[in-house]
């Protein structure tokens, strides 16, 4: 090959390769700084409200699609993996449940090219919201708030009350919302993002990591999602993402049995039950029918 051709190929390779590396592979964390959150603090807050903590935790998988691994964890390659949308129900004896995340509407799922959508699972999530005393969304987008949108068509006052309860001032740091349940705001990552710490009645501890850790690699290998996701899609502060990943890793080091529940992967068998409990009998007569129909109807989109 001629020198001119060699130079041309080198320039083309650099024009393609450097942006690809920066957008999809580069994972330099800089110097992450831990936030002032400790496992002792979370346990103290979890015990600060009298009463029984959650006895069981259940999850529903509402939708999934194939997604390139690097979009969830930079440098993890272009192989596709399943990327799920979940909702979680904290079941409490004799008390209304608490719901973490609320699913996604069919319209939003279609817009984001989710190839699989479980209308019945989403209906069960909305039924859980009808019974819930609290709801915590791990992020501000439609991937987290779809169930509240659906609920607003059925019970607008309740949907408004639940949504309003999630808007507590995040500047105060972690705060308890029920026995064994602590919300950890992470507004420096992205406004409206949170983590949730749960200490179950049997002493098992969980951190629901949401979009901070879509997969186990984010925490295990200190990998942020690729810049293509954090800068051009959800627009998270990348350095704050690394800071919070470092913080969660320290929580895990302080309490090795702590389970980190990744935001978009099927939870490992650590005591999380697949499938919500049935709604109360008074809800089942006609309510579930309406919810199920609404999940797939044009007006809910």
226 burial type by CB count under 10 A (0-12 exposed, 13-18 middle, 19+ buried): buried
- pTM for this model (two decimals): 0.87
CB 296 within 8 Å of CB 146: no
- Give the three-class secondary structure for 48: coil
Residue 11's pLDDT is: 46
> Residue 282 is part of which domain span?
3-300
Section 282-299 average pLDDT? 53
User: Average model confidence (pLDDT) for the chain?
Assistant: 84
The CATH number of residue 169's host domain is 3.60.15.10
* Kind plus residue range of the DSSP H or E element containing 182: strand 181-185
How many structural domains does the chain have? 1
Residue 217 has pLDDT above 80, yes or no: yes
Residue 37's pLDDT is: 96
């Amino acid at each position: 090959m001629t020198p001119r051709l060699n130079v041309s190929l080198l320039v083309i390779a650099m024009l393609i390769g450097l942006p690809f590396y920066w957008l999809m592979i580069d994972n330099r964390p800089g110097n992450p700084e831990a936030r002032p959150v400790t496992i002792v603090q979370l346990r103290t807050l979890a015990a600060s409200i009298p009463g029984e903590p959650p006895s069981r935790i259940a999850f529903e998988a509402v939708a999934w699609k194939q997604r390139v691994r690097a979009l969830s964890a930079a440098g993890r390659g272009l192989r596709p993996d399943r990327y799920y949308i979940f909702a979680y129900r904290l079941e409490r004896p004799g008390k209304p449940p608490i719901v973490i995340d609320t699913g996604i509407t069919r319209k939003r799922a279609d817009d984001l090219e989710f190839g699989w959508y479980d209308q019945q699972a989403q209906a069960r999530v909305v039924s859980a919201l009808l019974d819930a005393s609290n709801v915590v969304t791990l992020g501000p987008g439609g991937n987290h708030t779809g169930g509240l949108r659906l609920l607003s068509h059925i019970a607008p006052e309740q949907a408004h009350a639940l949504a309003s309860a999630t808007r507590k001032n995040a500047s105060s740091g972690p705060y308890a919302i029920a026995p064994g349940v602590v919300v950890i705001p992470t507004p420096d990552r992205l406004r409206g993002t949170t983590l949730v710490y749960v200490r179950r009645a049997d002493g098992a501890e969980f951190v629901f990591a949401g979009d901070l850790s879509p997969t186990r690699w984010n925490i295990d290998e200190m990998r942020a999602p690729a810049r293509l996701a954090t800068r051009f899609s959800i627009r998270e502060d990348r350095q704050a993402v690394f800071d919070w990943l470092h913080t969660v890793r320290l929580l895990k080091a302080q309490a090795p049995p702590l389970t980190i529940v990744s935001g978009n992967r099927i939870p490992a068998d650590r005591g999380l039950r697949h499938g919500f409990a049935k709604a109360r009998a008074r809800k089942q007569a006609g309510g579930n029918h309406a919810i199920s129909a609404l999940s797939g109807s044009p007006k809910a989109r």
